Structure 1
Amino acid sequence: MNNYYTCSFCGVSELDAKKLIAKGSKDEPAICSECVVSCVNILINYAAVIKPVKLSVTKGGGE
């Protein structure tokens, strides 16, 4: 069993991470602040290249 929380994305331990977001036992997923920043940057860059999609919702009777 692991004695420390570790980031599920990069593997850094809670001892070396600036911050680590975790909930539950040490064997459950966790994410460090550096990986959060990386994820945010990916989403920002992704949002800059996609075009918004207009969705239409229609009410219909179920058959």
Structure 2
Amino acid sequence: MSKSPEYLTTAEVAKRYRTAESTVRYWKHTGYIPGSLRRGRRTLYDAAVLDAWDAEQASTGGQRAA
């Protein structure tokens, strides 16, 4: 049986990255942070996508790919 994906709210993502919710919204607006999707009026973030993004950021030193 497969595990259903875990989704985080903007507030939870902000807490995870120790930043303000407005910063997370800005990152989403600029395309910096991946994994967001809309469910009605809510924006949710796929935790597995964020985990992969964290690993990529660690391996590239935080530099965005061109």
What is the TM-score normalised by the length of structure 1? 0.37
| Greater RCO, CA 8 A, separation 6+ | 2
Larger radius of gyration: 1
| Higher normalized helix content (fraction of residues) | 2
